[in-house]
């Protein structure tokens, strides 16, 4: 594969990082990069992105390296894609299509597969003209996973019908997810969501806290389908922890639209753990990207604890955090789990409402529920009242966080 990127007045601060990401994305999709063609221009060429001269050079590079695919670090219009493909004689895809391909590779659940297929079909619908020949030569490689060649070569009416059917199926799945979410909310369980840049270490954190045995690899978009697990804190309180898909710069709009039901999981959290790779060379850009997407997705009002991971890859004495509150950990160490647990506990105490109650000694069930559903700090037996004086923190809207008496 040959990668192509144009550094312009608009993207120069992040150009190097996005090209590195494009290479990582290609490798994640099981592709081999043989050459990177880069160009500086005030803005991209409206016809071919890189201009006529560079287009000739690209065609020569394709022949010289016997490349079978060209991947652009820009979203191509249907016309641009057709012009470039005809000039170089092989299939041409862009960053969006590459990411969609990886999502098709990673999707495991029925919902995940449907969402990816919907995003791919919506993206490819205006690009059907002129694609058949190139895609037929490409075979089953990068850019053709998911819907596949046969769907891409059918007429627009069939594609639109397929999109409608997928949306209906997704609506059913979303309704089921909503029912599950409401059950969790009604159970008074505190809900924690993991968000962050792709490959920051979210799945590793989930595995660390819950022993979830989730797929966790040093790859972009290693996790696609949201996964919710229970985590019992040392004090006994049970919370849920939900892992979701990672964000990245220039995340395709089609993906955000397709994954609305999945992203709803994060919107309803009581606390977000923003996982950040502390060793990333472009850490500040990654932080800004996630914060911007959180604002766009209506999640800016949710309390956030920033978890800086991969502390083993840097000098902790020289590390300067930029987001607060935060905790710096090595997720692969016992000390890392302890530090994260303490930070979460401290944050819970700030978010929850303090309570103090007398629980009669013969109401052990209530004491047991308090241990599971609240952050119970102390329980002292009061001999005079034959009851336990309990102190802790609970969700304000729960039955423990209001002024109701326990024996009502």
Supply the DSSP string of 101-148, one letter for each residue.
Answer: HHHHHH--SHHHHHHHHHHHHHHHGGG-TTTHHHHHHHTTSTT-SSSH
The one-character DSSP state at 303 is -
199 known member of a binding site: yes
35 has which bridge partners? 2
Domain 2-103 homologous superfamily, CATH: GTPase HflX, N-terminal domain (3.40.50.11060)
198 known member of a binding site: yes
- Are the C-beta atoms of 91 and 137 separated by less than 8 Å? yes
Provide the pairing of β-strand 69-72 with 271-277. unpaired
- Are the C-beta atoms of 314 and 279 separated by less than 8 Å? yes
* pLDDT under 70: residue ranges of the chain: 129-141, 143-155, 184-187, 212-225, 252-254, 257-262, 264, 316, 402-408
246 known member of a binding site: yes
101 known member of a binding site: no
Return the closest-CA partner of residue 152 out of 167, 172, 138.
138
Q: Tell me how far apart the alpha carbons of residues 214 and 219 are, in angstroms, rounded to a whole number.
A: 14
315 known member of a binding site: no
- Are the C-beta atoms of 70 and 58 separated by less than 8 Å? yes
Q: What is the pLDDT of residue 80?
A: 94
Q: What is the pLDDT of residue 354?
A: 93
Phi and psi torsions of 54, nearest 5°: -70, -30
324 known member of a binding site: no
Give the model confidence (pLDDT) of 249-302 as tens digits.
Answer: 777 666 776 666 567 677 888 999 999 999 998 899 999 999 998 888 888 899
Task: Note the pTM of the prediction, 2 decimals.
Answer: 0.81
112 known member of a binding site: no
243 known member of a binding site: yes
Q: What is the pLDDT of residue 315?
A: 81
Tell me the three state secondary structure of residue 339.
Answer: helix
52 known member of a binding site: no
Q: Tell me how far apart the alpha carbons of residues 307 and 273 are, in angstroms, rounded to a whole number.
A: 6
Give the helix, strand, coil percentages of the chain, each rounded to 5: 45, 20, 35
Cis bond upstream, residue 325 (ω within 30) = yes
148 known member of a binding site: no
| Upper half-sphere CA count for residue 113 (Cβ side, 13 Å) | 8
245 known member of a binding site: yes
Phi and psi torsions of 340, nearest 5°: -65, -40
35 known member of a binding site: no
Tokens at residue 401, please? 């966080």
196 known member of a binding site: yes
Domain 189-350 homologous superfamily, CATH: P-loop containing nucleotide triphosphate hydrolases (3.40.50.300)
224 known member of a binding site: yes
């Amino acid at each position: 594969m040959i990668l192509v990127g144009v550094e312009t007045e608009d993207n120069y601060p992040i150009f190097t990082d996005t090209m590195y990401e494009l290479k990582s994305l290609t490798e994640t999709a099981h592709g081999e990069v043989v050459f990177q063609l880069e160009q500086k221009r005030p803005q991209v060429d409206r016809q071919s992105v890189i201009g006529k001269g560079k287009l000739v050079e690209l065609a020569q590079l394709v022949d010289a390296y016997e490349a079978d695919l060209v991947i652009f670090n820009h979203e191509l219009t249907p016309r641009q894609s057709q012009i470039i493909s005809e000039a170089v004689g092989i299939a041409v895809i862009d960053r969006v299509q590459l990411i969609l391909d990886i999502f098709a590779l990673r999707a495991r659940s029925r919902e995940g597969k449907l969402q990816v297929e919907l995003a791919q079909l919506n993206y490819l619908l205006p690009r059907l003209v002129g694609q058949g020949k190139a895609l037929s030569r490409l075979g089953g490689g990068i850019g053709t996973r998911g819907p596949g060649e046969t769907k891409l070569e059918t007429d627009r009416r069939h594609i639109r019908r397929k999109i409608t059917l997928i949306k209906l199926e997704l609506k059913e799945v979303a309704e089921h997810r909503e029912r599950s979410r409401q059950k969790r909310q009604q159970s008074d369980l505190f809900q924690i969501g993991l968000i962050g840049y792709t490959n920051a270490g979210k799945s590793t954190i989930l595995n660390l806290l819950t022993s979830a045995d989730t797929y966790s690899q040093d790859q972009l978009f290693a996790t696609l389908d949201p996964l919710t697990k229970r985590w019992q804190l040392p004090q006994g309180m049970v919370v849920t922890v939900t892992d979701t898909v990672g964000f990245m710069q220039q995340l395709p709009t089609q993906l955000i639209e397709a994954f609305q039901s999945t992203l709803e999981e994060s919107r309803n959290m009581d606390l977000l753990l923003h996982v950040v790779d502390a060793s990333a060379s472009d850490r500040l850009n990654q932080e800004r990207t996630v914060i911007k997407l959180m604002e766009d997705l209506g999640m800016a009002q949710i309390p956030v604890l920033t978890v800086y991971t991969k502390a083993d890859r840097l000098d902790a004495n020289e590390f300067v955090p930029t987001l607060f509150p935060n905790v710096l950990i090595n997720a692969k160490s016992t000390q890392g789990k302890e530090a994260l647990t303490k930070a979460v506990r401290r944050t819970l105490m700030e978010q929850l409402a303090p309570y103090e109650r007398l629980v009669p000694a013969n109401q052990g069930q209530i004491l047991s529920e308090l241990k599971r559903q609240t952050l119970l700090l102390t329980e002292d037996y009061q001999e005079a009242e034959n009851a336990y004086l309990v102190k802790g923190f609970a969700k304000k809207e729960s039955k423990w966080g209001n002024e109701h008496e326990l024996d009502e």
